[in-house]
């Protein structure tokens, strides 16, 4: 295992190998962000259409909610394999194949006539959507190290953060102007355009001599090494629980927006714009601080914002009824803090096993997505009838994240 750095050491500014001559680092960031956007587009765009889907397919609210859970579970499970496949067969090849599969599944979602078939094709979407975000992290770490890697990762996050803000807004407009099927048709055309662009411009960052064998023995040893690592569980867990605190509100959005805040299907921006603004400005802060502030110092600032926002959110709703803008304002500070913690923690996780970064990225994404799917399918339905319950759930999730992060710091100190 790669020996961890000192916990308070600033990220070194070590350059990685040069980029493919046909693409700049800014263009690569845009491309990787566009790939990462498939996830939020596949989740957030159709949230305003839940009542329309329920009526059209003669389904219950829980059955429609499970289309989200089916997507998230398959997304999480398949992310275990995207990285391993890319370690063996190259980053570019797996991304192109996954985009083609996602396009087919998306077109199928637009044509279903029962909720059961929608479940099936949402599973297919989930199995292919995660390749971009998982392999994108590995590509960044293949090409860059230290502060440049942190800056590029935060730049991807800044660009990517636009998606969760505009996705529900676009979905609400499409539902008002057409119907829920048009959402999936629009997503299909986006995927086809992205497939064409990646085919033309996406570089291969993992040369054949650095690839790992795709065989049961090697995979078993690799996954076993990752999942037996205490630091992996602690640091990946901290990222996952912080994200789960946000995803609790994402999955509860149809109830939170329409029932508690009394807004329409085309007004989801009230929740998603503050959330995404926080992601954007948190990533911008990391971009500016990389190389100047240590990972631990960035995380301390981030967790202060996370816990402060979640605590203020709970206190407000214990005392007062839901109201704009106070019910959504804490989400800005929560996601700001989340974005300050995640990039540095992600680089620490990826550097635990430098020779199998694809597999490590897969395992980290799997942990984050499986926890988010559990929150979506089990926790959110238990809490969404009460805004104070949602706020308390968010505070509990980020409290667990802080406990894991502090424990990881002590483990790293002991190793060092």
For residue 325, is the peptide bond before it cis, meaning its omega torsion is within 30 degrees of 0? Answer: yes
Choose from 168-172, 184-188, 204-208, 294-298 the range with maximum mean pLDDT.
184-188
User: Quick one: tokens of 310?
Assistant: 């979640």
Domain spanning 25-203+216-415, CATH architecture = Up-down Bundle (1.20)
Residue 189 CB coordination number (10 Å) = 12
So where are the chain's domains?
25-203+216-415
**pTM attached to this predicted model:** 0.69
Residue 398 has pLDDT above 90, yes or no: yes
pLDDT at 19 over 60: no
On whether the CB atoms of residues 182 and 174 are closer than 8 A, the answer is yes
Count of residues in the chain: 416
Q: Quick check: 299 and 402 in contact, CB under 8 A?
A: no
Helices of type H across 161-294 = 162-177, 180-201, 216-227, 230-251, 253-255, 269-289
Q: Assign 3-state DSSP to the chain and report helix, strand, coil percentages, each to 5.
A: 80, 0, 20
Closest CA to 86 of 179, 175, 208: 208
As a whole-number percent, the residues of the chain with pLDDT over 70 amount to 92
Dist CA 245 CA 395 (whole Å): 7
Per-residue pLDDT tens digits for 58-112: 888 888 888 888 887 888 788 778 877 888 888 888 899 999 999 999 999 999 9
Distance of CA 385 to the CA centre of its chain: 25
Q: First-to-last CA distance in the chain?
A: 13
| Residue 63 CA, distance from chain mean position | 24
């Amino acid at each position: 295992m790669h020996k961890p750095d000192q916990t308070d050491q600033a990220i070194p500014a070590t350059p990685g190998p040069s980029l493919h001559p046909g693409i700049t680092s800014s263009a690569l960031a845009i491309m990787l962000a566009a790939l990462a956007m498939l996830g939020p587009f596949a989740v957030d765009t159709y949230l305003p259409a839940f009542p329309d889907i329920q009526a059209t397919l003669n389904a219950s609210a829980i059955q429609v909610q499970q289309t989200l859970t089916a997507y998230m579970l398959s997304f999480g499970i398949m992310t275990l394999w995207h990285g391993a496949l890319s370690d063996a067969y190259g980053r570019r090849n797996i991304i192109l194949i996954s985009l083609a599969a996602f396009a087919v599944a998306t077109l199928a979602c637009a044509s279903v006539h029962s909720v059961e078939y929608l479940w099936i094709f949402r599973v297919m979407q989930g199995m292919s959507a995660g390749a971009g975000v998982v392999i994108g992290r590995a590509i960044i770490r293949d090409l860059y190290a230290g502060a440049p890697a942190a800056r590029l990762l935060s730049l991807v996050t800044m660009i990517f953060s636009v998606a969760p803000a505009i996705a529900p807004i676009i979905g609400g407009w499409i539902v008002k102007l057409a119907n829920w099927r048009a959402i999936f048709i629009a997503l299909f055309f986006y995927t086809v355009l992205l497939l064409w662009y990646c085919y033309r411009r996406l570089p291969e960052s993992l040369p054949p001599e650095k690839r790992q064998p795709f065989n049961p023995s090697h995979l078993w040893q690799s996954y076993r090494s990752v999942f037996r690592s205490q630091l992996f569980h602690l640091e990946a867990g901290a990222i996952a629980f912080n994200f789960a605190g946000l995803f609790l509100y994402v999955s509860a959005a149809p109830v939170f927006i329409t029932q508690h805040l009394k807004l329409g299907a085309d007004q989801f921006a009230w929740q998603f714009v503050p959330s995404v603004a926080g992601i954007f400005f948190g990533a911008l802060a990391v971009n500016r601080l990389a190389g100047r502030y240590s990972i631990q110092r960035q995380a301390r600032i981030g967790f202060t914002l996370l816990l402060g926002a979640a605590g203020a959110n709970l206190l407000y709703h214990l005392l007062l009824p839901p109201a704009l803008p106070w019910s959504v304002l804490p989400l800005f500070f929560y996601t700001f803090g989340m974005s300050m913690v995640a990039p540095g923690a992600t680089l620490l996780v990826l550097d635990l096993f430098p020779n199998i970064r694809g597999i490590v990225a897969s395992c980290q994404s799997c942990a984050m997505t499986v926890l988010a799917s559990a929150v979506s399918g089990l926790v959110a339905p238990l809490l969404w009838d009460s805004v104070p319950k949602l706020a308390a759930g968010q505070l509990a999730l980020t409290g667990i994240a802080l406990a894991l992060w502090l424990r990881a710091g002590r483990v790293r100190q002991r190793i060092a």
